[in-house]
Structure 1
Amino acid sequence: MSRTLLVTGGAGFVGGALIKSLLTEYSDAVIISLDNYFTGSPENHVNDPRVTYIDGSTVDIAKIWAGRGLPAPEIVFHLGEYSRIVQSFEDHDLTWDFNLLGTKEVVKFTAGHGAKLIYAGSSSKFGNDGEDENLNPYAWTKAKNIEYIKNYSNWFGLDYAITYFYNVYGPGQITTGKYATVIGIFERQYLAGEPLTVVSPGTQTRDFTHIDDIVRGLVLVARGGTGDGYLLGAGNERPLAEVAKLFGTEFVLVPALRGERTRGQADTAKAAELGWQAERRLDEYVAGFVAANPR
């Protein structure tokens, strides 16, 4: 008998990479992706008969699952939420629907099937001694979901583990549009021969984590993690201006953005208990990118 794994947001940057890994790590599994394709793309699909891609909303997860007669999942990787800070002011309603309404249904669905929930929390909740969770709609909804998951487990029973991503980068990242990632934007601007745009003041720090390390962390947490606190980051604070300098080209400062935090660095102690640590370095990644694309 094969096991069933569900990945919400499976057509996204992290979800697509996770599914590739799950196909190897769980050789007996069939994998279902549920994605509304808000930022996900068919380009991230894996061409494998063991993977089924469903276009739908997490709000309707129970109805979608029952309508297709799918077997009960063993693990639910919940990555399918709204995940941008600055844009969440403009997309307030979407942030509410995707993150609060959708996650409520995913939690209920997971518990109802006796599955284990692996939730992708947001590292934004740790900024400024926890005060930054109220800086913007995105951080606030993600922080409330952590509270909800813990309470639901106490109220009704739920096997869960919560991970936190720190500025994920690597192959497959979004490089264009308002949902592009920092390293994705820098790469696009570099290839176009444009100066890199660094948000003022440029001294704010971020902890950048390669997609391969994130995916490896998710698998380890799924296998042996329990409860809250699995921070997946390199553990290094890097000022954004210094990151831009790694590309060896000109950069310019642009106006500060609403709702952004000033510092970011992961405390990886709990993830380390599972044998996880970041193996990929940002400076080596950027050096490889620049070497492969000389200007």
Structure 2
Amino acid sequence: MTVGTDDGARLWAARSPGDGDPLVLCHGGPGLWDMFGDMAELLAGVTPVVRWDQRGCGRSERVDGPWTSDRFVADLEAVRRHFGLERMTLLGHSWGAQLALSHALAHPERVSALVYVSGIGIGPDADWQGAFHENLRARLVEHPERLARWRELGDRPVRTQDEERERSVLQWSAEFEDRERALEHAGRMADPWFGINHACSGALNDERMRTWGTPELYAACRSLDVPVLIIDGARDLRPRTAVDSLERALPRVRRVILPDAGHLPWVEDPEGFRAALRPGRAGSGRESPA
């Protein structure tokens, strides 16, 4: 179905069957699209979910921005209103975790709970980016032929969509701890392939570098009166210590670390992920289940 925004952009959205208020999902990127098919299946019979493609991405209308967090927060508000939700439980993954947190900070009265999955915390990029690139190279080095092809495609000034997809799958395969199934998992992320919106990605990443890690952001998180559940895969390429900045700032937080999962923990530890989401368990404390 199509969700209209206040500036006329049209967003793709879908709600799975089920009773009760849905869990609203915010996909990663920026510049990508909803890849939550596995999660929707995992949560079938537990809770309905709302999935949507962010502005200018995936199945949503191709528009020329604007590419700002404020605009994307407003788009998420349009999704909330479209589905008639007075308040919503948000689940954001990676960049989507940043978006969901930004929405909760802007509209805490409209968020009943926040699930923050595989984010990067609220500190500056120096907290995680160098280690991420080092870990990415280390994972790709395990398969020299993949690394060579990834570098070859990256050096091309222009890539076809097929080449763009191939390079993304090679890079995404490094995100999984299960090395035997890594390419399979990454291939599912790229099926279907909608093309990366690089203008969106570049603008929002630049904005994060200017606005994340500020005293104002830390103060806002310290005042957030919303229960937050942080879920991490311990084997994420982004160091999980970066998320400590957010955990320390939030007054109502619980954190679950899944030891054998990478950046997409619901794929590699579905039972642990579903257990972490059990109703009433977000709020306080920290655990690292075995």
The TM-score with structure 2 as length reference comes to 0.35
Structure of greater relative contact order (alpha carbons < 8 Å, 6+ residues apart): 2
Larger strand percent: 1
TM-score, reference length from structure 1: 0.34
